[in-house]
């Protein structure tokens, strides 16, 4: 059977990954796209962070920045990403290759296209094992078969010799998970791992990830555009909007007392059980064009609470213990005490009295 | 796979017969007659009449067609494809002599083309818009724009006539008998270079765009996310996928290669099929022209079959 040994670093409960003020920008012909613009968060050992937001808000670019997989014309222009104290932004290519697929593994949204069509599933997993565990090809293949078994693929030995096109989408995502976990990473980045799958398969994959997380004691960064998906898995949740973190708190708080109007909108749009996924119908309007962002609060054109003060960009400020929100509304959710005609400066003063993170 | 190949070969039979009919009419509809070259000279009209009778050119067209359709498949008979009007030898005998030099020319050029254009294409894609990519692009555009015959004449003039590094024509030095490999290779250099330069110009472009397409795919990102080195990502994960369309295109381009070889052979008087065919068109040697059209058609069918077989070989998603 499987030999999924817990990772060593998981024993202490320190910070595994710390992202500080990350800015990843794309220089395009039409201007600079600030895909990720000043994002900070941290993931403790063995904990799960949910990253939530509509499509285009910068979730994938954040994840790819951590993996240093940003391609031209994109570039990490500022910030620090430290994994157990090591800064990944300044690490050499060789150091990064040693971390990828080893300390940090990543699975992607599209299981149909994320596996190489010309190699067998077993080969693709064994390649990762052989690369990082420095074992023989034969041992690596045995390990690959063990992993396929561990992710619930029946008849793993036969499946290992099959090509991706012979497997369904759900099975392929299981293969991706097997590949990602074959090296016992301390962090798994899962970028919308269930978005492309149908509802019953989604639930199975999430169950599988939960079971493996508990067994492997690894941390997970679970990216999704659906607050419902992270509900039972995440310890902490980061809500992103237009390249920025707009709300950050523990998972229960986001569900019970979301502060930011955007989080409230996301929460209201969670599909009810048995219902088909409706994508964020509750939030009116569209995501702002990244080349033409509004002045002040980036959400103001869609926000039902928008007020004059919102023409000034709100800081990410504490609204409750362990809850940060980038919104001018008071902690109890009403307009700031200074009134709806408050100027930006007065509001900023009011904000300064609260603990301000960024 | 064997059953599939057999089925494809059987399917090809009616196509070959169809081509035989069409080819017959095309050749007949071309202006002029094979006896034209005898007219107005010292050859008496009686002799010309005899020639017409001998080659059954006085027979009604349907009879001529019927005799062609019924005899051409009997390739084990030396006279199945008739006799050349010019040298009087069986067409199949002439073909037998001319096919090996053409295969040598095409084959050498093919191998060189693959060896040169695949790495150039990879380099262009991996280092897209770099200086080396731009240089390759410019050279490829020049190579692509040059007509084969013009390039052939240029190389022949410069390296053959002026510098005298290589012979001007033929496959062997005059007065030689038997196979002399170094002499043959020496004669091969300029024709092969001509064919290869033109082919590399196109193939390095195809390879580059195929590679660029593959490098954008999700599975390449997966390979990088595994921690593989750039070389391993490019040469193991991307290359095999990038070669799939190239290999298919390769099979389909075999007939085009034959026509390229025909031009080159004419320029260098290379004693191959193409040279024979161009000469035959000039002298209205119907049986030879007909044979060349037939071989062209068979090459198309064969090229398609080779493309499909290679496709199944390189792409595990294809099963016949
Ligand atoms: N190659 C690129 N060139 C320009 N802009 C890009 C590129 N890749 C991503 N972006 C921009 O980055 C932003 C965030 O993208 P992404 O992180 O993929 O969003 P998501 O949250 O859906 O994963 C988007 O607005 C997108 O337009
Ligand atoms: S700052 Fe103003 S516009 Fe922005 S989310 Fe809060 S209330 Fe809405
Ligand atoms: Mg995404």
Alpha-carbon span A132 to A59, nearest angstrom: 27
Q: Is the CB of A299 under 6 A from ligand 2?
A: yes
CB contact under 8 A, A101 and B226: yes
Choose which residue among A60, A110, A239, A246 to substitute to test ligand 1 binding: the one with the highest number of ligand atoms within 8 A of its C-beta. Answer: A60
Q: How many domains is chain B partitioned into structurally? A: 1
Going from the Cα of B208 to the center of ligand 1, the distance in angstroms, rounded, reads 26
A105 in B contact zone (CB under 8 Å): yes
Q: Which of A114, A128, A132 sits opposite B219 (nearest CB)?
A: A114
DSSP letter assigned to residue B171: S
Examine residue B68 and state whether it is found in any structural domain, yes or no: no
> Does B185 map to a domain?
yes
Q: Is residue B227 part of a domain?
A: yes
Interface of A with B in 112-131 (CB under 8 A): 113-119, 127-128, 131
Q: How far is the CA of A82 from the centre of ligand 1 (A)?
A: 23
Give the nearest partner residue to A132 out of B227, B314, B315, using CB atoms: B227
Cβ < 6 A, ligand 1 pocket: A 26, 28, 33, 35, 53, 55-61, 73-74, 290
With contacts defined as CB-CB under 8 Å, which chain B residues touch A132? 227
- Write the residue with the smallest CA distance to atom 19 of ligand 1: A56
- Measured between CB atoms, does B89 come within 8 Å of chain A? no
Our CA-based measurement puts residue A130 at a distance from the nearest CA of chain B, in whole angstroms, of 11
Nearest CA to ligand 1 atom 7: A26
Q: In this predicted structure, what is the pLDDT of residue A131?
A: 96
CATH number for the domain spanning B179: value is: 1.10.3720.10
Please check whether residue B69 lies inside any domain of the structure: no
Residue B70 lies in a domain: no
> Is the CB of A302 inside a 6 Å radius of any atom of ligand 2?
no
Is the residue at B273 inside a domain? Answer: yes
Position in ligand 2 atom list of the atom nearest CA A335: 7
A89-119 burial code (b ≥16 CB/10 A, e <16)? bebeeeebbebbbbbbbbbbbbbbbbbbbbb
Q: Is A306 in the pocket of ligand 2 (CB under 6 A)?
A: yes
SS3 content of chain B, % helix, strand, coil (to 5): 75, 0, 25
Tokens of A190: 């899962």
A117 and B223 within 8 Å at the Cβ level: the answer is no
Cα A57 to ligand 3 centroid, rounded to whole Å: 8
Task: Check residue B44 and give its pLDDT.
Answer: 80
Quick check: pTM over 0.90?
A: no
Binding-face residues of B in 202-231 toward A, CB within 8 A: 217-219, 221-229
Indicate the residue of B218, B228, B315 with minimum beta-carbon distance to A110.
B218
B222/A116 touch (CB, cutoff 8 Å), yes or no: yes
* A329 CA → ligand 1 middle, Å: 29
**Mean pLDDT of residues grouped by 10 in chain A (358 residues)?**
41 82 96 96 96 95 98 95 96 97 96 96 97 94 96 95 96 96 96 90 91 93 90 93 96 92 88 54 79 91 90 93 93 69 53 49
**Of residues B159, B148, B106, the one with CA closest to residue B263:** B148
Nearest CA in chain A to B244: A118
Question: Which chain B residues contact residue A106 at CB under 8 A?
Answer: 225
CB contact under 8 A, B314 and A113: no
Atom of ligand 2 nearest to the CA of A246: 5
Contacts across the A-B interface (CB distance below 8 Å) = 65
Checking ipTM against 0.90, whether it exceeds it is no
Min distance A2 CA to chain B CA atoms (Å): 21
Residue B75 lies in a domain: no
- For chain A, the three-class secondary structure string (H helix, E strand, C coil) is CCCCCCCHHHHCCCEEEEEEEEEEEEEECCEEEEEEEEEEEEEECCCEEEEECCCCCCHHHHHHHHCCCCCCCEEEEEEEEEECCEECCCCCHHHHHHHECCCEEEECCCCCCCCCCCCCHHHHHHHHHHHHHCCCHHHHHHHHHHHHHHCCCCCHHHHHCCCHHHCCHHHHHHHHHHHHHCCCCCEEEEECCCCCCCHHHHHHHHHHHHHHHHHHCCEEEEEECCHHHHCCCCCEEEEEECCEEEEEEEHHHHHHCCCCHHHHHHHHCCCCCCCCCCCCCCCCCCCCCCCCCCCCCCCCCCCCCCCHHHHCCCCCEEEECCEEECCCCCCCCCCCCCCCCCCHHHHHHHHHHCCECC
pLDDT at A340: 46
Find the domain containing B112 and state its range.
91-314
Strands A187-191 and A236-241: unpaired
Interface contact flag, A114 B229, Cβ < 8 Å:
no
Cβ contacts of B219 on chain A, cutoff 8 Å? 113-117
CA of A25 relative to ligand 2 center, distance in Å: 24
Tell how far the Cα of A53 is from the centroid of ligand 3, in angstroms. Answer: 10
Which residues of chain B have a pLDDT value below 50? none
Cross-chain residue pair B226–A69, CB shorter than 8 Å:
no
Q: Does B314 touch chain A (CB under 8 A)?
A: yes
Q: What distance in Å separates residue B192's CA from the closest CA in chain A? A: 34
- Is the CB of B241 less than 8 angstroms away from the CB of A117? yes
Q: Which residue of A has its CA nearest to B312?
A: A118
* Residue contact B222–A108, C-beta within 8 A: yes
What pLDDT is attached to residue A352?
59
Phi and psi torsions of B177, nearest 5°: -130, 155
A43: buried, middle or exposed (CB in 10 Å: 19+, 13-18, 0-12)? buried
Residue B251, in any domain of the structure = yes
Considering every ligand atom shown, identify the ligand nearest to the alpha carbon of residue A240 and give its number. 1
CA distance A125 to chain B (A): 9
């Amino acid at each position: 059977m499987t030999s999924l040994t817990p990772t060593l670093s998981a024993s202490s409960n320190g910070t595994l990954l710390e992202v500080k003020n990350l800015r990843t920008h794309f220089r395009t012909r039409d201007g600079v796209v600030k895909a990720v613009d000043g994002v900070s968060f941290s993931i403790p050992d063995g904990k799960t962070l949910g990253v939530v937001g509509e499509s285009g808000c910068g979730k994938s670019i954040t994840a790819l920045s951590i993996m240093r997989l940003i391609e031209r014309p994109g570039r990490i222009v500022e910030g620090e990403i430290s994994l157990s104290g090591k800064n990944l932004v300044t690490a050499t290519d060789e150091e990064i290759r040693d971390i990828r697929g080893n300390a940090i593994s990543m699975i992607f949204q599209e299981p149909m296209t994320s596996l190489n069509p010309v190699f067998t599933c077993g080969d693709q997993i064994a390649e990762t094992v052989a690369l990082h565990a420095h074992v023989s090809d034969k041992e690596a293949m045995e390990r690959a078969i063990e992993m396929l078994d561990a992710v619930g693929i029946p008849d793993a030995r036969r499946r290992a010799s099959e090509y991706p096109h012979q497997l369904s989408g759900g099975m392929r995502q299981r293969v991706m998970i097997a590949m990602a976990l074959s090296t016992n990473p301390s962090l798994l980045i899962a970028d919308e791992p269930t978005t492309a799958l149908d509802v019953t398969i989604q639930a199975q994959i999430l169950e599988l990830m939960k079971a493996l997380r508990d067994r492997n004691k690894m941390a997970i960064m679970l990216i999704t555009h659906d607050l419902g998906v992270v509900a039972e898995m995440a310890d902490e949740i980061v809500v992103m909007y237009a390249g920025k973190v707009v709300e950050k708190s523990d998972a229960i708080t986001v569900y019970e007392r979301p502060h930011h109007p955007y989080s409230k909108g996301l929460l209201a749009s969670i599909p009810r059980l048995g219902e088909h996924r409706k994508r964020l119908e509750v939030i009116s309007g569209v995501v702002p064009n990244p080349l033409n962002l509004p002045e002040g609060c980036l959400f103001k054109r869609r926000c039902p609470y928008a007020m004059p003060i919102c023409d000034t960009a709100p800081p990410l400020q504490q609204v409750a213990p362990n809850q940060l929100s980038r919104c001018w509304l008071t902690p109890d959710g009403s307009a700031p005490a200074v009134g709806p005609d408050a100027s930006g400066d007065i509001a900023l003063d009011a904000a300064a009295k609260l603990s301000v993170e960024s | 796979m064997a059953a599939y190949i057999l089925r494809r070969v059987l399917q090809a039979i009616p196509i070959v017969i169809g081509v035989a009919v069409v080819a017959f009419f095309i050749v007949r509809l071309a202006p002029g007659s094979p006896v034209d070259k005898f007219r107005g000279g010292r050859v008496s009209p009686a002799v010309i009449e005899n020639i017409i009778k001998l080659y059954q050119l006085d027979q009604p067209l349907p009879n001529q067609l019927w005799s062609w359709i019924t005899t051409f498949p009997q390739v084990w008979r030396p006279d199945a494809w008739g006799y050349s009007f010019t040298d009087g030898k069986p067409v199949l005998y002439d073909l037998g002599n001319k096919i090996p030099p053409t295969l040598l020319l095409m084959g050498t050029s093919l191998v060189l083309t693959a060896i040169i254009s695949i790495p150039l294409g990879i380099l262009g894609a991996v280092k897209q818009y770099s200086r080396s990519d731009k240089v390759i692009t410019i050279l490829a555009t020049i190579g692509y724009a040059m007509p084969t015959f013009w390039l052939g004449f240029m190389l022949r003039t410069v390296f053959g006539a002026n510098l005298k590094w290589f012979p001007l024509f033929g496959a062997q030095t005059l007065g030689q008998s038997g196979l002399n490999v170094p002499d043959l290779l020496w004669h091969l250099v300029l024709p092969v270079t001509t064919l290869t330069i033109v082919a590399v110009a196109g193939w390095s472009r195809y390879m580059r765009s195929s590679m660029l397409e593959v490098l954008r795919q999700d599975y390449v990102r997966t390979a990088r996310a595994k921690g593989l080195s750039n070389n391993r990502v490019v040469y193991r994960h991307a290359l095999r996928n990038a070669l799939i369309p190239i290999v298919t295109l390769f099979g389909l381009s075999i007939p085009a290669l034959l026509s390229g070889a025909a031009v080159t052979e004419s320029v260098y008087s290379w004693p191959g099929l193409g040279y024979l065919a161009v000469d035959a068109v000039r002298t209205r040697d119907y049986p030879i022209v007909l044979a060349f059209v037939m071989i062209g058609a068979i090459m198309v069918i064969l090229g398609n079959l080779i493309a499909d077989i290679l496709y199944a070989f390189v792409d595990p998603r294809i099963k016949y």
